[in-house]
Amino acid sequence: MAYTTIDKPSDYFNTKLYTGNGTAIGSGGLAVTGVGFQPDWVWLKNRTTGDRSHQVYDVIRGVTKGLKTNSTDEENTNSERLTAFGSDGFTVGNNGDVNTSGNAYVSWNWKAGTSFTNDASATGIGTIDSAGSASDASGFSIVSYTGTESAGTIKHGLSSVPKMIIAKDRDSGSLSWFVGHASLGFTKRLKLDGTNEAADNTVWNNTNPTSSVFSVGSSANANTNGNAIIAYCFAEKQGYSKFGSYTGNGNADGTFVYTGFKPAFILAKDADSSDNWIIHDTTRNPSNPVGAYLRPNLSSAEGTFSHYDILSNGFKNLYAGGSLNGSGKNIIYMAFAENPFVTSTGIPATAR
């Protein structure tokens, strides 16, 4: 069996940088190209200016319909944010969150691709109807469902078990982004919009996902009766993605984390403490150490701090302590590949 089935990770995940030009949609907007595929989930952030929210768009909710990872705000519709998904990127208007003239932006882009609908009563899969877009090849799906406030199960569209789920109630301005992660177990939850440590909660009905469904509890967290909810589900693929954890050692010669690939993107959080989420990517950081970071739970501009070295088969902490290497702390992460450690034809990745 080949080490990986994904020799070119950028076919499914890619980071694209761009500079805003402030052009309104009525004048053509700004077409951002070079993603390499039609993105199904786009996460945008203004790197230059503080007080500019992270904006998330997907093909299931549709263009102009944004959510903010740093806020509990309900879904907003804005005709000057993301207005089109193109074959090689997307188009944005002149809203400052996505296109201020002269400002630097980052977009993280994922491909799903195969649409599905599930009538739970007819198929016998799950108990709550769902629809979405899924890529079995890369282990990523976007799932839309309507809450019932009764414990239930939802088809996620993948044939393998999700290791991480991020869900948001689109109709609520007070409910958080809830995160489930296999390293914590689905008896616990984190909040993407907050700094909270992992806490016991029934968001996931204290039940791990299966290869066909994930579970939600009877509370209103990710299952408010009658509300539209979106969930992003991630299954692990060798050589392409990893959803794991490591224990910080509080040392400048920090913990090495084996992923089985050279990471292109790392989202991490100290699950034991009230601390920020942090994103690094190798497009903003083309050489070691990676310094430029953004925080999904905050609207602040890009900061610089050397947290990691990116290696051909994982990443290594460089800082003595801090939010990503506190002694004895449990740090959970989501990582996607720039290159697999070894391709399906036996070609190894090179170090940076």
Burial class (CB in 10 A: 0-12, 13-18, 19+), 252: exposed
pLDDT 10s digits, 242-283: 999 999 999 999 999 999 999 999 999 999 999 999 999 999
The predicted structure's pLDDT at residue 306: 87
What is the spatial distance between Cα 157 and Cα 189, in angstroms, rounded to a whole number? 22
Spatial contact of 60 and 132, defined as CB atoms under 8 Å apart = yes
Residue 183 neighbours by CB distance under 10 Å: 17
Q: What are phi and psi of 242, to 5 degrees?
A: -150, 135
Q: What are phi and psi of 16, to 5 degrees?
A: -125, 125
Spatial contact of 24 and 93, defined as CB atoms under 8 Å apart = yes
What letter would DSSP give residue 348? B
Q: What is the pTM of this model?
A: 0.97
The predicted structure's pLDDT at residue 172: 96
Per-chain mean pLDDT for the chain: 96
What is the 3-state secondary structure of 63-87? CCEEEECCCCCCCEECCCCEEEEEC
What is the spatial distance between Cα 271 and Cα 331, in angstroms, rounded to a whole number? 6
* Domain assignments of the chain as residue spans, ordered by start: 9-110, 120-235, 242-340
pLDDT 10s digits, 180-214: 999 999 999 999 999 999 999 999 999 999 999 99
The predicted structure's pLDDT at residue 1: 47
The predicted structure's pLDDT at residue 2: 66
What is the spatial distance between Cα 249 and Cα 261, in angstroms, rounded to a whole number? 22
Spatial contact of 348 and 291, defined as CB atoms under 8 Å apart = no
The predicted structure's pLDDT at residue 73: 98
Which residues in the chain show pLDDT less than 70?
1-2, 344-352
